[in-house]
Chains A and B, each alone.
Chain A
Amino acid sequence: MIATAASVGIRLQGVTKVFDTNTVIDNIDLTIRSGSLTTLLGPSGCGKTTILRLIAGLETATSGQIWIGDQDVTALSASHRDVAMVFQSYALFPHMTVGENVGYGLKVQNVPRAERDERVAKALADVGLAGFGPRYIDQMSGGQQQRVAVARALILQPKVMLFDEPLSNLDTKLRRSMREDIRELQQKTGITSVYVTHDQSEALAVSDEVVVMDAGRIAQIGTPEDLYRRPGSAFVATFMGEANILDATVERQGATLVVGIGGARLELADARPGLPEGEAQVAVRPESIRLVAEGRVQGPAGTVKACAYVGAATEYEIECAGAGVFAIVPAGQPVFGPGSRVTLAIDPVGVAVFAETGRPAA
């Protein structure tokens, strides 16, 4: 993250947005560091796109204030906010060529033709589309349209870049390379960027910081690793990757927490204050569970209900003390068929204790 002199932060203060009677954003405070790429992540309907649109000026906050740098932009319209946005549908003008699309903002600013052409050519080259200027949008592939949209947003050198699920219309392979390109462009320009997605792996891959949202509120803010390793709630644990929520006992022993799950005692290096003790729920990542034949080790015992071979691993559904446990075991380990009695061997790295209980993500 390169905070250039020009880049500015974004600040939301007590922002609430109500549509009719439906509170979509509920009194949110959020600071986005200058020069960072921050992802808003959450299930559909959690309000992440609304926050993006509030920052863009496409929606007006019902109450609260929005600051870009040291300017209060709450009452400013989108065209006066110095932001640029890449839309989910790309929103490329179908009646203009690629070059006209990219140069639209410059034309609006009355930039002279020669300079405009030059900057359009450079912007197109930056996204790997040199020479595509005269084409119409319907002659471009989905991935190319995506690049045009990015070029159009970058050409105005905005203070803030906003991405609204920019990759959701692309196929898996293209998505991976595009997200790397976006990350690289953002690093190069240092423009403060906000990126909305519902895909947690995309969020983990591109962000400096991730804001997990749930039902109009912020569930947790942190680096991708923070959120995965130390989720603050069952919701975050289950939304950031898969997790089994299991009943356990938690005991504090100096700098470690000792978590007891069905006879196994696991020592966790994470002993932040505020974590509960005694009876509690913990999250266990499916890839940190190994299966061994029953009785070989101390640990929760269960019965294999189903197993599925998925190439690099075998996925198990295990019934364990009345609860369903999901485990992903890498190829090369012994395979247990349905009905086998097994004991779960849990790697403490994949176990998280959280301060808040509450519902897991659907």
Chain B
Amino acid sequence: MIISTSDSARTERAILAWSLAGLAAFAVLPWRALDYGLFDALPSELWDAVGWRVADWLPWLPTVVLAVLAVRPWRAAAPALAYRIDAALGGAAILALLAGAKIWGVPLGLAAAIQITALGAIAALAAARLGYVQGDGFMTGSILLIAGLIAAFILFPLSTILIRVVVDFKTGEFTPFRFFEIVMSPGFGRALWNSLVLAIAVAVSTTILGLVFALYATRATARFRGLIRIFSILPIITPPFVVGLALILIFGRSGTINDGLLALFGSGGLLVPEGGSGWFQRSGYIYGFWGIFLAQTLAFTPVSYLVLHGLFGTISPSLEEASLTMRASDWQTLRHVTFPLLRPGIANAFLLSVIESLADFGNPLILGGDYDVLSTEIYFSIVGARLDYARAGALGLTLLAVSLAIFVIQNRWIGRKSYVTVTGKGGGGHLMPLPSWMQNSCGVVVYAWIAFTAVLYGSIFMGGLVANWGADYTPTFTHHAELWAAGLNYGGWPSYLNTLKLALIAAPLTAVLGILIAYVTTRKRFVGRGLVDFGAMLSFAIPGTVMGVSYILAFNVPPIQLTGTALILVVSFIFRNMPVGIRTGVSALSQIDKSLEEASLTQRAGSLRTIISVVLPLLRPAIISASVYSFIRAMTAFSAVIFLVTAQTNVATTYILARVERGNYGVAVAYGSVLILTMLIVSMLIDHFVGRSRVQRRVALAGGNA
């Protein structure tokens, strides 16, 4: 095999540069993790954590390997052999380091992370020279990085849950039947049953409502479109349990409806005869199944609407026109042509809603009452004094298995069973209007929904502006003053600023990682793609509570010790929201003709250059929208974060929850309304400034040419 010499020289220079970077990190940066995190450590603590000052031989292991790699005593050997040695040595050193840190309990710090990166980069460069991923060093490195991150932050944490279930924590005994004991224990079956019943009920209602909305939006009236935009954006920017809070304000024990009914029918009510005892008492009917059902229906209908709306757009009007020319009536056409075409989409929307409902934690937590579901059971297993990680783990694995199974069905079975083909021959024909009785009944549902949503959001904003909702409706700013007027170190500010900071750090990283994963999985063929695909799929299906539990179990001991730091929050934001980046990336990449990149490669640009000059400019809108969306999701993150925050790293949602738990609804909704406003403003600003650029239009054009 002849390997061109100039390329070899370049690879050797890169290997040398990475080795030196790893050695430099050893010399000056903290090699051990610091107890209080990198930014809160004292200079003396930093200095004591530097690799060669740590009284331990482990830091020397990667350092010696890197030193050897810098020299490359085998450089004179045949290139194929020499590169095999580089790749094997780099990979083996990483594995040995991680195993050593795990066995001897050494928490790895910044320098260790840099050394692992350097060893990985060297292995990737060498593997590329051996022909891996079409001989592409940058791509090989990216794939290795992605695989490493997925292994470290998705697969490894999940494996610790499994281990915690089957191995006794205190005695180290192997307990293979523990899982079944927990499953058979009281409460477990009920929680599973409750979760499934709730999920199916919610999925039925959201799918029907989503269908009604999609029908009405595509076929009824153009006036509706502006409203629809707000409607589809609201649930995204609303923190997960704020809709639940609003429901409590309206329907709760001292909510508006109870008060109203009490005023009419209660003891001494307007419609009750003088001296009568009344027919109505205060009731907590909203707590339990119906409360969660209502909150989740409100929260997830937009998702199912978006899925179905997207599908409606791809049905060619000519199919309906063909049916109409064959003397079918409007209704017959809908029934025999349009709905069957929609069937895969309906199934899709249904299954997505099931997954969302199973994973939802916020609404069951505050509205559940004694209606236990899996996600809340997980939380209650380890919160407070109970601290039963094995039970939490077993519940988590069950929840994960159910949502993963549904996700696989949704992805593999429905995904392929789509009848819709995009021919690119658009322009002809009009969608058929709905039969008038249908249009009218859809309209009633849609406007009733909008009115209801308006009342709910109104109550969130008003609730923060009155003294005590349900008892004293005097307008007041005291709640907002308590949150925002006591200085930056008090009230709502610390958690608000902390959330903002962490979300801003996480958002671009999420977008870039997600889009990179989308890029390598859709555009490249390589050994190990199965693992990356599987990890990406897990990240789609993994419920937040399961992730939270797995993170505390995995990251409060070496080698990766992150519990209590702000870093673990950032990491959880990134891997929780990664699917957003992946989805955006996949759909944006499908618009970009692959031959554009190939043209760049044959123009002698390497893959890094190709990505910078060709792919990134064309993906810019996708990167921005993925960043915005990840930012918003990080701001409203709750289900995983609740397991990971500390008093120092409190975030907005957990602060609000603490206020709810203290019965402090006024302050809670005041904070919630500020959060909603923040995100509304951010997303509208971005929408305004980014919009549809000239580049984007040309991308569409290039896609059309292909």
Contacts and interface: CB of A to CB of B under 8 A. Distances in A.
Given A89-B595, A105-B605, A77 B618 contact: no
Interface string A76-110: 11111111110111111111000000001100110
Given A75-B3, A80-B7, A91 B698 contact: no
Contacts of B136: 77
Contact of B134 (A57, A109, A137, A153): A57
A138 to B, nearest CB: 5
A226 interface: no
Interface string A249-291: 0000000000000000000000000000000000000000000
B593 A89 contact: yes
Nearest to B6: A80
Interface string A21-40: 00000000000000000000
B698 A75 contact: no
B423 interface: no
Contacts of A84: 602-603
B2 interface: yes
B598 A56 contact: yes
A92 B706 CA distance: 11
A85 B602 contact: yes
Nearest to A108: B605
B156 to A, nearest CB: 30
A157 to B, nearest CB: 11
Nearest to B698: A94
Given A89-B593, A137-B698, A156 B603 contact: yes
Tier of interface size on chain A: 35 or more
A184 interface: no
A78 B601 contact: yes
A152 interface: yes
Q: Which of A85, A136, A152, A162 has the most CB of B within 10 A?
A: A85
Interface string B473-497: 0000000000000000000000000
Interface in B683-703: 695, 697-699, 701-702
B189 interface: no
Secondary structure at the A interface, as helix, strand, loop or mixed, is: loop
B4 interface: yes
Contacts of B418: none
Contact of B609 (A81, A90, A95, A108): A108
Interface residues of B, number: 37
Given A72-B2, A76-B4, A91-B595, A60 B131 contact: yes
A321 interface: no
Contacts of B171: none
Contacts of B593: 89, 91
B135 A76 contact: yes
Given A77-B134, A94-B698, A89 B706 contact: yes
Given A77-B136, A91-B593, A94-B699, A104 B601 contact: no
Nearest to A56: B602
Secondary structure at the B interface, as helix, strand, loop or mixed, is: helix
Contacts of B605: 79, 104-105, 108
A330 to B, nearest CB: 38
A145 to B, nearest CB: 8
Nearest to B128: A77
A308 interface: no
A143 to B, nearest CB: 13
Contact of B603 (A75, A94, A152): A152
A306 to B, nearest CB: 31
A74 interface: yes
A88 B593 CA distance: 11
A75 B7 contact: no
A58 interface: yes
B258 to A, nearest CB: 59
Contact of B598 (A91, A137, A169): A91
A105 B699 contact: no
Interface in B592-616: 593, 595-596, 598-607, 609, 613-614
Contacts of B618: 94-95
A60 to B, nearest CB: 5
Contacts of A141: none
Interface in B28-82: none
B130 interface: yes
A71 interface: yes
A95 B706 CA distance: 16
Nearest to B618: A95
Given A90-B705, A93-B614, A94-B618, A79 B604 contact: yes
Contacts of B595: 87-89, 91
B1 A79 contact: no
Interface in A38-81: 56-60, 71-72, 74-81
A78 B695 contact: no
Interface string A142-184: 0000000000110010000010000001000000000000000
Nearest to B604: A79
A349 B599 CA distance: 45
B176 interface: no
A82 B593 CA distance: 23
A94 B702 contact: yes
A105 B613 CA distance: 11
A75 B613 CA distance: 25
Interface in B101-136: 129-131, 134-136
Given A85-B598, A90-B705, A109 B604 contact: yes
B415 interface: no
B135 A138 contact: no
A95 B617 contact: yes
Contact of B1 (A75, A88, A90, A108): A75
A58 B601 contact: yes
A104 B600 contact: yes
Contact of A138 (B131, B598, B698): B698
Contact of A136 (B7, B596, B698, B699): B698
A104 B698 contact: no
A57 B129 CA distance: 14
A81 B603 CA distance: 10
Contacts of A57: 134-135, 601-602
A95 B701 contact: no
B182 to A, nearest CB: 41
A231 to B, nearest CB: 33
Given A75-B3, A94-B618, A94-B702, A83 B602 contact: yes
A105 B705 contact: no
A78 B706 contact: no
A95 B3 contact: no
A89 B599 CA distance: 10
Given A78-B601, A79-B606, A91-B598, A60 B134 contact: yes
Contacts of A56: 598, 602
B701 to A, nearest CB: 5
A82 B3 CA distance: 14
Contacts of B134: 57-60, 77-78
B522 to A, nearest CB: 15
Contact of A169 (B130, B602, B617, B705): B705
30 contacts: A56-B598, A57-B134, A57-B135, A72-B1, A72-B2, A74-B131, A75-B129, A76-B4, A79-B601, A79-B602, A79-B605, A80-B7, A81-B602, A82-B604, A84-B603, A85-B599, A87-B598, A89-B593, A89-B705, A89-B706, A91-B598, A93-B596, A93-B600, A93-B614, A94-B702, A95-B699, A108-B600, A137-B698, A137-B702, A152-B599
Given A92-B596, A104-B600, A137-B702, 7 more contacts: A57-B601, A75-B135, A91-B593, A93-B599, A95-B617, A95-B695, A153-B602
Give 6 nearest A-B pairs by CB, closest first: A94-B698, A105-B603, A91-B599, A91-B595, A78-B601, A77-B135
Interface of A: 56-60, 71-72, 74-85, 87-95, 104-105, 108-109, 136-138, 152-153, 156, 162, 169
Interface of B: 1-4, 7, 129-131, 134-136, 593, 595-596, 598-607, 609, 613-614, 617-618, 695, 697-699, 701-702, 705-706
